[in-house]
Every structure is written in structure tokens, then in C-alpha cells.
Chains A and B, each alone.
Chain A
Amino acid sequence: MSLEPQELIELKSKIGRDPTSTELQIIAAEWSEHCSYKSSKKHLKMLPMKGPLVIQEKGYDSGVLDVGDGYVITAHIESHNHPSAVEPYGGAATGVGGVIRDILSAGTRPIGILNGLRFGNIEKDQQARWLFKNAVTGIADYGNCLGIPTIGGEVEFDDCYQNYALVDVAAVGFGKKENLIKNHAKKGDLVVLLGGSTGRDGMGGSQFASDSLESENRSAVQIPDPFIEKLIIEAILEARNHKLINAMKDLGGGGLSCAVSEIADTLEVGIEMDVDMVHTRESNMHPDEIMISESQERMLIITSKTKLKKLQEICKKFRIACSVIGHIKSDNQMHVKKGKKTFANLPIDVVANATLLDLPSKKPVYLKTIEKEKKLKPISDYSKIMMSLLGAPNIASKIWVYGQYDHEVGIRTVIKPGHDASVLRLDNGKFLSIKIDGNPKQCYINPREGAIGCFEEACRNVVCTGAKPIGMLDHLQFGNPKDPEIFWTFLESLKGLTDFANYFTIPCIGGKVSLYNETPSGPIKPTPLIGVLGLIDKTPLVPQKITKDDCLVIVGNTKDEMGGSEYFEYVHKFIGGKCPSVNFAESKKNMKTVLKVIQSQFLKSVHDCSKGGLAVAISELCMKNQIGCKISLENVPGEKLDIDRILFSESHSRYLLILDKKNLKKLEIILKKNKVSFNLIGKFTGDKIQFTKGTKSIIDLRVDMAQKTWINSLKDLVLHG
């Protein structure tokens, strides 16, 4: 149990007596970092959370955005890192299940899943390969069975995740505004537990997740059952249509302890419940076990006595269990009984509100010298370097991953995985664009600039589809917060995100903090993951086939910012240097201008320039379209740089615009008028990727050879090592 000695003293003084064992279990679960956010909550308030499209309702686990015409989008992000590091299949699958139920809790139908996966070095480490392969299968088996498309995400490998895994899942939902659940309850209402049975799996999972992963506590990992989850989704949406749900909450971390106390706290009521009424999958479970079990696929519903019969009928239709476990009282107490015997009776506000911490922070020592660059080995053959980068696990095509996910079900997916951002069509004729991005390599070098970079990159990706960013999800993943140096990196990232969100007026609509991400060899690199949602009113920019003589124009400056780049880390095995930073004013100007150009509807496609830099971004276009290119590096805008910098710098705020030659004039007029830095840097032609500087050939690669490496290398690594 993870209750600290001073917390125990505090609990005793608050309730004026010794707690019972059940009370201790409940408090330990609810006061865990995972459930209470005690280390981060004070600081998270700095993020802007309001906006013209944001709908704030009490008791929601997901954010809600008004997308017009009476429709709303819900979105949330969660991680399942500790469980996935122990049992990747079940850990990743139940991670999907949990975030889906958050979307469902608002009364909306889940319509898309994205995931961000991070593992150790799969080229060297067999365990990383095993974790990766099984996490992907876990997500596929769960999401596919639910019939919710997994529409995008990202995969990254870094030594800092050795023997560990970051499995982040974001989900979006869609529904009518009038169908949102307005959480409310009155005295005498019934508390109903619906769905899967409660067992001894996932015991104390939230506490397990709130500690460094030292032992393989397999009983703390939950067991997935997507079939039950699918039935719950349909049953709940049917119950919603019949207006049978007064309030609702999913059971996640902390199980019944958290769900019951948090819903009571939100609704400002008391709940009396009887553990004997909970449907269990094992006999003789102790009340403590029932209260903290994190068995999956369970929902807590508050309904009126008069509505119970209809709710039971719906559950019977789908053959899912539904037990009345308690009722609403007006005394603001959480009263847990077994038959007539009381096992816990605590004031709700004590349970639901752990004392928040204000942890000390200190700038890490390593940051003093990290920006210093070492002398690099000169590159004699850039074509060879390019081939090795295209096959590098972080850059290679992720088709082996998303090819296992049903990304078409629901028939909304307009822009499918493998592009910058994914786009779903909505029922009101508008389109939702969404992308998640992380960059621990840059965040390690500069936690503030790195985090801002993730945010800008996600925005850029969404902008490439023609969407205006309307909301952000953040998932802040760090090591042990009690280490002041780690806590400093957390605060720096958070401040950076806050500044960017304020400058661009993009509200944070939801998020999660995951701390204590420690591996046997130390903490993970700071890994904030940012999801951005964008809205397209009319037509998304669906990438069109690039053909001979199409022009390539770059918007944005290329700078000497190589820290954390794939080129430094993968090619030169060097961690350090100055990481890319975002110039807010330039970023905003480029974003607005690119959106404006897209709306003029003469571009064939727009591609974001990020991991692997300009050289990789252009090669991707060639490989996807099976066409060569001729690029003149001397025309790339920005300060005068060495060849390797121009090719591989990961500077932000850059966009590649592809268009028919005949539209070039039109484009130049708009770009000039908006005063963005841009230039025509080449055209598409032939069957070779060719980069030159002056008359000198720098890269000369056959597209088909490059494509073969790019498409197959990840799959080959996973299957054959």
C-alpha cells in the first residue's frame, strides 16, 4: 500500500479515529498519485481550459467541444504504462478500454482511437521487441473487436525506455449535444454497477502505477474482454436514448473506491453501498478486494427507482450483468457495508480530496552542458546515411503497426493512417482532424522547448489537412516527482505548453499526468505527449497523387538546431546540442498562411517537416507517390548552413507545399502578401531522390530501393530481429 506515514496521521486526525482496513484500502487507492494528481494538480491549473467551443460539465473524464449544428466532440487521453511494461498485451488492451469508457461516460459514442507507443531500442533489445509486438496486438485485438477505428498515432524507440513501455491511448467521441449526460442525483436514487464482474485482477492497480516499477506485480494487471466492452457501449447508448442515466462514471484506476467517492464528490451527495450486491467472478472476496479491484469493463450508473426496470431490460437484452449496489443519501458520507456490517464510513470530501503537494524543484545539473556540441565524424556519403535513416525504427514506415488496426470501421475515415494527421467526417458535414505527438529526445535536452515543439508539431500536422486547431490534450509523463530535478522538468514542460496554448488560444480540454515512470536504469526522458484536435468546416486537404513536374515549395526557415535529432542520435549516437525552438510569432504566421493557401484549393498536398528533417520529409513524399525529385539545397530558406544541417535539422514551423506548376504564381502572391519565409526548392520527376547543392550531387537514391527499406524494415525487425 502506498499511503505515506504522514498521510496516515492526517487521515486519523480528519476522521478522529483509527481507520478500518477497508477504509485504509479505499484511501490508499484514492490518494494515490494516479487517482489524486496530488503532486501535479496545483500546477495543472495554469493551463487555459476555457474557450468558445469548450463545454464544461461536472464530473466528466473527457473534454467536450461544440462542433456546431447541435453536435459535440469528446476527447480524452490516458496511459497504461506500468501494466504494459509487465504484460504488454493485456496492459495495452485495457488501456484502450479505459479511455473508451471515459468517452462513453459523457454519453457520446467513441469514433476513433489513437495511440502513442514508446519502447527501448528494438534493434538491440529483444525484450523491447517483445513488448512492442504484444502491445500492438493488444491494441489491435481490443479496438478492432469494439468496432472503433484506430486512426493514428506514433511509435518511438529510445534507450531510456529499456525494460519499460509507454502506452498512451487517446480517444474521440461524437454525439448530439442534447444527449450529453448531465450528471445529477437526488436522495434515494439507485447506484448501479453494470458490466463485467469484479474479480481479483488489477488489485491495487492505481497504487502500482503510482510507484516505481520494481517488481512484476502481475496481479495488478487487468484482464481485457473487448466483447463485454462492446456490449456495454451499445447497452449504455441505448439506455442514454431512453434517458435512464442520471449520472455515470467508468471504473478505472482505484476501481469502486474511486468511482463511488468521485461521483459522490462531484454530485455533492452521499452513497451507501453493500459489497454483497456486487457481482463477482470469484467467491469469498473480501470487501477490501471488492473495493480496490480494477477488473475492467465496468460502469457505475446513478438512476431513478422508476427507471430501473427499463435499464435492467436493456442489460438483459445484451446479457450483461447489472447490480443495484447502493443508493444516494444526503449525508455526504461514503458508507460501505457487507450485509448489515459496516466496513467503511468516511466523509466523501476526505476520500476524494487528497492533500495536494507543492514539491520542490531544481534545474537538473545535466542541462548545464547538454547544449554543447561535440565534433562529429564527417559524412562522406549522404546517400548511404539517408538509406540508414529511412530504415531507422523511428523513421521507417509504421504500416506494420497500423495495418493491424481496423482504421476504416465506422466509415468516417477520410484521411487514413500514414499521413500527417487523420481526418474523420462528422454528421454535420464538417471534419475532425487529429494528431498526437511526442518528442522525448528534444524534451530531454530542453524540457520547455521540447514540449512546445510537440504541441507545435501536432498543430502543424492538423493544419496540413486544412484544419484549424480547436483543442489540445496533454499527457505528461515523467519519472519520480520527488526528485526535484525531475519535478523541475515537469514544471518547465507545463509552463511551455501553457505559454503556447495561451498565445494560440487553444484550450486544453483534457489530460493526464503519469509520474514514477522509472526503469531499472533510471527515469525515462521527459515525455509529454500532445494531442491536437482540428476542425475543418468545408473540405479537408486529402493528399492527391503527385505527378511529374509538380513543384515543391517550403514555408519556414531551416535553422541550426540539431539537438535531439534523429541525425545526431541515430547516425552519430550523440545526445546533445541545441534543440529546435518555436518562434511563436513566426509559427502563427506560417500556420495561418498555410491554412489560407489550403482554403484556396489549388494545392495537391501539404506535408509537415519534422523527424529526420527536410531530407526525410521529401523522401516520404517520393516513396508514397513512387516518383523521384530534384531538390536544390541552396534554395532552402534560412541562415547559411552546412549540408548536414539543411538536410536533417528538425526546425519547427516548416511545411512542404506540393502543387501543379501552373499554380505557382498564385501561391507566390499569397505567400508574399503574408510575409512568410518561403522558396521553391525543387520539383518531382524521374525515379530518383536527388538532392544537389550548386552543381554538386549530395543524395542520389532510387525511389524503389528507398521505399523497400522504408516499408519493410520495421516489420523485418519485429519478425526476424
Chain B
Amino acid sequence: MKVGVVVFPGSNCDRDMYHVLTDVFNLDAQYYWHEKSLPKNIDAVILPGGFSYGDRLRAGVIAAHSPIIKDIQKMAEKGIPILGVCNGFQILVESGLLPGVLLKNESLNFMCEWTNLIVENNKTPFTNQFKLHDRIPIPIANGEGRYYVDDDTLKQLKKKNQIVFRYSQVVNGSSNRIAGVCNQAGNVVGMMPHPERAVESEINPVDNKPSSLIFESLMVKMGVVN
């Protein structure tokens, strides 16, 4: 199974994600620079966190115009699993692949802390190994992580089962405590917290198993494990 890790100028979690994919889950991962195109035979794409273009203008907005986004859009249409983490989520939102926007945190500060997620949709390629309402201890690290949608869109998201993760408590003021969403088809998922920082017990002070299920879900979906 081939996983592409997309690298934009200013991405800074690309190496962490690559380490987790290759060293922890033994997957065949490959970096793709934002000006390159994605090969046809790729099985999944991950947009890692960071500060693409230094968060100039608005987090993710410049990277959303990178050449590689066209390929990602095509893959999204084909139903290939795509995951955006943190800045990757912001880029997916800015490129129109996911609904909503990400605003400055209510505290107006960058926030780095451990939170708890609740799984609200266990049908996506990244959550199929969870039970509904499972808890995931996981860290956030962002300045513009407050997910916002208007009331009508929120209703739509609920109706179409597009809310994937919610925080167990109010963290940054996001609408409906949303931490991650998917597109209508469910194959494109974006989340603010960092699963790649939580899958190894050595650096996870709580429990590394729940976060690991995010990657194991993808492996099950792709038939790497059953």
C-alpha cells in the first residue's frame, strides 16, 4: 500500500508523519513536493501539519493553490482516502474539499495541549476500527484551530454524518466542539489534533492505542490487515 505525504513550503510535521507510516505501521510512504504531481497508483494521501507559507494571509490559503491540489481533487473524486492533519486540514478546507473554515482560537493564542476526542462517525477510512463515541487522547498544536460553520451548514453536516471527531470538552470555541470533519462521500477527512504524535507509547502520556486505530482503520480499508 502506497501512501503519499504531501510537502508544502513550511510543512513541519511531514517527517513525523512519514516516521509513523513507515517505522510504526510498516507502510510504503513517499514524500511529494507541492509542485510535483501524484502518481496514479497511490492508495492514500496525507497532508501533514505545519505552517505552509508561514500562515501568511490565512492558514492554508496559499498552499490551497499549489499545483498538487488539482491531483488531490481528482483523487478525492475517485474516492481515494485523503487525510489532512492540522495545517493539512486547513489546506483541505481552503481548497474547498471540506466544508467550514478554521479561525483563530478563542484564546487568541497558539495552544499546545493534550485533549480528548470523541468519535462521531466510524464509517470513514480513518475511523472504521472505532466504536461510535470512543475516546481518543491526542494533542493539539495550533493557533487557527477553531472550526466554524454557520447553523445551516452545521445541520447539513449532522444530517450527512460529516462530523468525524468532537472534543469531549470546549477547547478552542469551535462550532459544536467539532475537531474533524469529512466530505459527503466520507473519503476525505480533516482533523486539527495530531494522530502522528499519539501513536507511540514512549511519547504518549495517556494511551497510544486509540490514535493508532486511525492508521489501522486505513490499513483495514486498503486490505493491508483484516
Contact = CB atoms under 8 A, between A and B. Distances in A.
A225 B53 CA distance: 11
Contact of A407 (B16, B112, B202): B112
Contacts of B96: none
Interface in A103-156: 137, 140-141, 144-147
A414 B202 contact: yes
B56 A406 contact: no
B12 A409 contact: yes
- Highest count of chain B CB atoms <10 Å: which of A137, A231, A409: A409
A482 interface: no
Contact of B141 (A230, A317, A408, A412): A408
B205 interface: yes
A408 B197 contact: yes
Interface in A405-429: 405-414, 416, 425
A639 to B, nearest CB: 40
B119 to A, nearest CB: 22
Interface residues of B, number: 31
A413 B203 contact: yes
A226 interface: yes
Interface in A392-445: 402-414, 416, 425
A319 interface: yes
A227 interface: yes
Given A409-B16, A410-B16, A411-B197, A144 B110 contact: yes
A227 B203 contact: no
Interface string A452-483: 00000000000000000000000000000000
Contacts of A318: 9
B53 A227 contact: yes
A66 B224 CA distance: 40
Contact of B110 (A227, A317, A404, A411): A404
Given A404-B109, A404-B110, A404-B111, A409 B202 contact: no
A411 B16 contact: yes
B53 A425 contact: no
B20 to A, nearest CB: 8
A411 B208 CA distance: 13
B114 to A, nearest CB: 9
B10 interface: yes
Contacts of B110: 140-141, 144, 404-406
Contacts of B200: 411
A319 B112 contact: no
A425 B113 contact: no
Contacts of A140: 109-110
B83 to A, nearest CB: 17
B141 A406 contact: yes
A227 B112 contact: no
Contacts of A407: 112
Interface in A679-716: none
Interface in B105-130: 109-113
A146 B12 contact: yes
A405 B13 CA distance: 15
A227 B56 contact: yes
Interface in A48-86: none
A155 to B, nearest CB: 16
Contact of A145 (B10, B19, B112): B10
Contact of B51 (A145, A404, A405, A425): A145
Contact of B9 (A146, A319, A406, A414): A319
A470 to B, nearest CB: 21
A135 to B, nearest CB: 14
B33 interface: yes
Contacts of B146: none
A411 B51 contact: no
Interface of A: 137, 140-141, 144-147, 225-227, 230-231, 317-319, 402-414, 416, 425, 542
The 8 closest A-B pairs by CB, nearest first: A147-B12, A227-B54, A145-B51, A406-B141, A411-B16, A404-B110, A408-B197, A406-B112
Interface of B: 9-10, 12-13, 15-16, 19-20, 33, 49-51, 53-56, 109-113, 139, 141, 143, 194, 196-197, 200, 202-203, 205
Given A146-B12, A410-B16, 17 more contacts: A144-B110, A145-B51, A145-B55, A147-B13, A227-B53, A227-B54, A230-B12, A317-B33, A318-B9, A404-B109, A404-B111, A408-B112, A409-B16, A409-B49, A409-B141, A411-B196, A425-B203
28 contacts: A137-B109, A140-B109, A144-B110, A144-B141, A144-B143, A145-B51, A145-B54, A145-B55, A146-B12, A227-B51, A227-B53, A227-B54, A230-B51, A230-B54, A317-B33, A403-B112, A404-B112, A406-B112, A409-B12, A409-B13, A409-B16, A409-B141, A410-B15, A410-B16, A411-B19, A411-B20, A413-B203, A425-B203
